Amino acid sequence: MSHTLPSIVAVGTGPLTYAQVVAVARDHATVRLSEDAEAAIAASRAIVDALAGDTQPHYGISTGFGALANRPIPAADRTQLQRNLIRSHAAGSGSEVETEVVRALMLLRLSTLATGRTGVRLVTARAYAELLNHAITPVVHEYGSLGCSGDLAPLAHCALALMGEGEVRDRDAQRRPAAEALAAAGLSPVELQEKEGLALINGTDGMLGMLLLAIADLDELLCVADLCAALSVEGLLGTDRVFAADLHALRPHPGQARSAENLRRLLADSPIVASHRGPDDTRVQDAYSLRCAPAVIGGARDTVDHARRTAEYELAAAVDNPVVTRDGRVESNGNFHGAPVAYVLDFLAIVVADVASIAERRTDRFLDPARSHGLPPFLADNPGLDSGHMIAQYTQAAIVSELKRLAAPASVDSIPSSAMQEDHVSMGWAAGRKLRRALDGLARVLAVELLTAARGIDLRAPLVPGPAAAAVIAVLREHAAGPGPDRFLAPEIEAARELILSGAVRRAAEAVTGPLH
């Protein structure tokens, strides 16, 4: 989104950061394997090569897969085994997955290859990096991962492109056969050898990629949620006293403290707030949607921090099955199970729904003359002839209702697969997919609150807002006019959403307040 991102990402110098993943996924940063990574890859490949002709069974090298793990594969067929694995597992269906998600999962798979625990050849790892650097994005489909044994179908579609098969998007986003795109970029298809097919598909990379992108989005959106709440407090003649630091110290959740501090800074020096402060103000306390904003948005912040820690653990992992150990063993394991990532993806969908819900309640207060403290019904220019923001709130309500449905956890479900060999799965990919839809909904809900709060503040004239709110409204007014007769609202909602996602709204406020949390 608006973060400063690196232009070159070295893979294999330590765990990737979420900023590096975002840089490759969204800004097409260049990737390169470190010297240490290349040495580790070569060392683990030597171990696999030594086992390639072994008569003893080694999963992924000389056996079938899943429930077929007890089927021995003759040495002459073991490279064909890897090609067959990719072709059969590239069985995705449904809508095409976004380019940024595919690039994120490819980078994360490359990161695991760079640990030297997977047994791939150096030529294969380098070729995978070149797909990213030439902006060749395999076509991946919505359905095909159960979030266990890896994000199998999505990763298989990526490996298929490495083989010169299947379809991809090229640098110009044109859909074309993989073989054509590779040739146009001067790249050669890879002929997979022992263990490599399995190493390319056995990881949590898709769900982890979606988690990392979601964390980046929420870092922006929760800051904007604080900002919108502050504008609503001003426009609804709320008090800033409830955001005092000593009150929030009584309940020392770190996210709540950060949100409260943001609200204090955003409301500083507001003539509107000052206009009803003092002994003449007869209201005892504001509604929960105003007063409790730091508890809700702050609780979301703490949940994101928990998700961030989980992502950091996963970024430090080498997820494959089997893995090549430093002492030369090739061992099966269960590290590919997506449960830890699936849980936090679901948790984030819950807090997204609740942050959107409280924002919609603040919007609704602006539109009800019984609760808006003197504003016209629906903020309409001529109520009755004009409907104002009546239906914009309907849009919010429809989105919030969907967000509540999307908050139902995916990770509590499991459908056994592979003839009961894989009898408990995480559904983490599905949790990531619904979280992405939820984040889009939150941005739209905040856009409506921003438009409504700005209109409510304008209608308080001759009172004027504080400098932070004024700066935000000035940016908004470049794309959406102030109060007046009814007009086509959909483009203004979309413009406000774009201003939020681009970071323009936050930057306008920070030009006054300094960096917000």
pLDDT tens digit string along 398-407?
A: 999 999 999 9
Query: In 120-166, which ranges are E strands?
Result: 137-138, 141-143
Lowest mean pLDDT among 80-89, 277-286, 329-338, 386-395: 277-286
Instruction: Give yes or no for residue 57 having a pLDDT over 90.
Output: no
Which tokens is 13 given?
């110098």
Domain's final residue, options 183, 203, 223: 203
Do 284 and 369 belong together in one domain?
yes
CA–CA distance, 334 with 257 (Å, rounded to integer) = 39
Q: Kindly state whether residues 480 and 388 are assigned to the same domain.
A: yes
313 an active-site residue? no
Three-state SS at 422: strand
Mark whether 264 and 183 lie in a shared domain. no
Band of pLDDT at residue 329, cut at 50, 70 and 90: confident
Residues 42 and 156 in one domain: yes
- For residue 343, being part of any structural domain is answered with no
Compute the average pLDDT of residues 42-53: 87
Order the strands of the 175-177 sheet from edge to edge. Answer: 137-138, 167-169, 175-177
Tell me whether residue 369 is in a domain: yes
Q: Which of 177, 203, 229 marks a domain boundary? A: 203
In this structure, is residue 322 part of a structural domain? no
DSSP state of 329: -
Predicted confidence at residue 287, as pLDDT, reads 96
Do 217 and 68 lie in a common domain? no
- How many structural domains is the chain composed of? 2
Q: Closest Cα partner for 396 from 451, 440, 357?
A: 357
Same domain, 191 and 247: no
Q: Are 62 and 116 members of one domain?
A: yes
pLDDT for residue 14? 92
Question: Do 257 and 189 sit in the same domain of this protein?
Answer: no
273 and 404, same domain (yes or no): yes
For residue 357, pLDDT over 50 is answered with yes
Report pLDDT for 67.
62
Pick the last residue of a domain from 178, 203, 228: 203
Distance CA 431, CA 444 (A): 20
333 lies in some domain: no
Per-residue model confidence (pLDDT) at position 2:
43
Each residue's pLDDT tens digit, 408-449: 999 999 998 888 888 899 999 999 999 999 999 999 999 999
CATH code assigned at 49: 1.10.275.10
Tell whether 232 is covered by a domain: yes
Catalytic residue, chosen from 18, 59, 313, 394, is 59
pLDDT in tens, 451-503: 999 999 999 999 999 999 999 999 999 999 999 999 999 999 999 999 999 99
Determine the pLDDT at residue 282: 65
Q: Judging by beta carbons within 10 Å of its beta carbon (0-12, 13-18, 19+), is residue 256 exposed, middle or buried?
A: buried
| Structural domain for 185, as ranges | 8-203
Could you give the CA distance from residue 412 to residue 396 in angstroms, rounded to a whole number? 28
**Taking 50 as the threshold, does the pLDDT of residue 1 lie above it?**
no
In a domain, 331, yes or no: no
Same domain? For 408 and 305 the reply is yes
Taking the complete model, does pTM exceed 0.85, yes or no? yes
- Are 87 and 112 in a shared domain? yes
Burial pattern 262-281, b for ≥16 Cβ within 10 A else e, equals bbbbbbeebebbeeeeeeee
The C-alpha atoms of residue 390 and residue 480 are separated, in whole angstroms, by 17
- Please tell me whether residues 301 and 397 are part of one structural domain: yes
* CATH code, domain with 501: 1.20.200.10
Q: Would residue 222 count as lying in a domain? A: yes
Q: Is residue 335 part of a domain?
A: no
| pLDDT (average), residues 295-321 | 96
Helix (H), strand (E), coil (C) string for 172-222 = CCCEEEHHHHHHHCCCCCCCCCCCHHHHHHCCCHHHHHHHHHHHHHHHHHH
Q: What is the pLDDT of residue 59?
A: 74
